[in-house]
Amino acid sequence: MRRQFTLGAAAAVLAAGGLVPGAAQAGEVAPPSADVIRMSKVYLLNGVPTVTGIYSCTGPTSHLWVSAKQGRGDLSQEGSGALARAWWQRTYDNRLDCDGQSHTFTARLKPTGDTGKLIPRGKGGRRAWVQFCLATDESDAGFDSIMRWRGVRRA
Q: What is the pLDDT of residues 91-103, one digit of tens each?
A: 999 889 999 999 9
What are the phi and psi torsion angles at 71 (to 5°)? 155, -170
Whether residue 50 is predicted with pLDDT greater than 50 in this model: the reply is: yes
Collapse the DSSP code of 8 into the 3-class scheme (helix H, G, I; strand E, B; otherwise coil) and give the result: helix
Shortest CA distance to 83 belongs to which of 129, 139, 39? 129
Distance CA 37, CA 101 (A): 11
* Mean pLDDT, rounded, for 19-45: 76
Distance CA 101, CA 98 (A): 7
Over the stretch 1-20, which tens digit does the pLDDT of each residue have?
Answer: 333 333 333 333 333 333 33
In CATH, which of 1.10.1750.10, 1.10.10.10, 2.60.40.10, 3.20.20.80 is domain 31-154? 2.60.40.10
Collapse the DSSP code of 10 into the 3-class scheme (helix H, G, I; strand E, B; otherwise coil) and give the result: helix
